[in-house]
Amino acid sequence: MSTLAADEIRLHGHRVRFHRAGSGPLLVLLHGIASTADTWAPVADALAQRHTILAPDLLGHGESAKPRGDYSLGAYASGVRDLVAALGHDRATVVGHSLGGGIAMQFAYQFPERVERLVLIASGGLGREVHPLLRAATLPGSELALAVLGGGWLRATGGAVASVLGRVGLRAGEDLAGVAAGIASLGDAGARTAFVHTARAALDAGGQRVSATDRLYLAAELPTLIVWGEDDPIIPAAHGRAAHDAMPGSRLEVFAGAGHFPHREQPARFVALLERFVAETEPAALAAARWRELLRAAD
């Protein structure tokens, strides 16, 4: 991950790999499904100039452990809470991409006192639609299919990979590279199992089945930035626009010409946007009493 050194910690008996660097207010960076902390490489060094960066490989991903267990959004959010606390931090601005966005929202819902700001990049959990490749992972027999596909993927040439992904609507660049790397990571049986369990916890054959849209009103007092690529083929940018409309005071930035990885496609723009957002907003400080008021107001 850029020039940042990797470290690891054991939590509840499981190895968690993470990157931490810089100093200043904490930014927790959460990657998407079948990805790793390395997705933040194009922006990590720049962000570490003014912030403490904490970017884990989520359980079931990368170099972290892949136990048979709970891969729900709630379990991921609790794991992030435990990692942040174990490393000596109390509060953070939480940044999540794709699945990581869904985890970031779940983290803010479960632990509102620990979140200063929320940044959602092409986030899951904001609508039903999602690319058929992810829906397919929820079907019976998907683990066997992934075992065959993963092995073939590792043997395929770059041209063959590009041709296959092009036929399912992914263009050359970060979308193709990101999905190809994700599939290639599933050569390990533990990684495949974790991937399928993660996918089935949030998706079904019809699309995303876990949604935060009925609770977005709770973010009224949480500074929120929504970032999307206009040409995202994985999760449509319309989800970001709808979430922005439903979250009072949120900011929306749509990157023209970008796909599902806007932070990688336009890293300088993303870093400038995130730093401006942090500089211009006061960190949330949501007391338990105010949280109760917000919940009761929805009746």
**Has 232 been annotated as catalytic?**
yes
CA distances from 120 to 99, 224, 237 (A): 10, 8, 12
| Active-site pick, 131, 239, 260, 263 | 260
| Active-site pick, 35, 98, 123, 185 | 98
Rounded CA-CA distance 227/240 in Å is 7
Q: In the Cβ-directed half-sphere of 15, how many Cα atoms lie within 13 Å? A: 10
Strand, helix or coil for residue 293? helix
Compute φ and ψ for 16, nearest 5 degrees. -125, 115
**Has 97 been annotated as catalytic?**
no
Q: Where are the alpha helices (DSSP H) in 4-51?
A: 41-47
| Active-site pick, 38, 175, 231, 232 | 232
State which amino acid sits at residue 177: A
Residues forming beta bridges with residue 293, ordered by sequence position: none
CA distances from 94 to 141, 144, 184 (A): 35, 35, 28
**Has 245 been annotated as catalytic?**
no
Residues with active-site annotation:
98, 232, 260
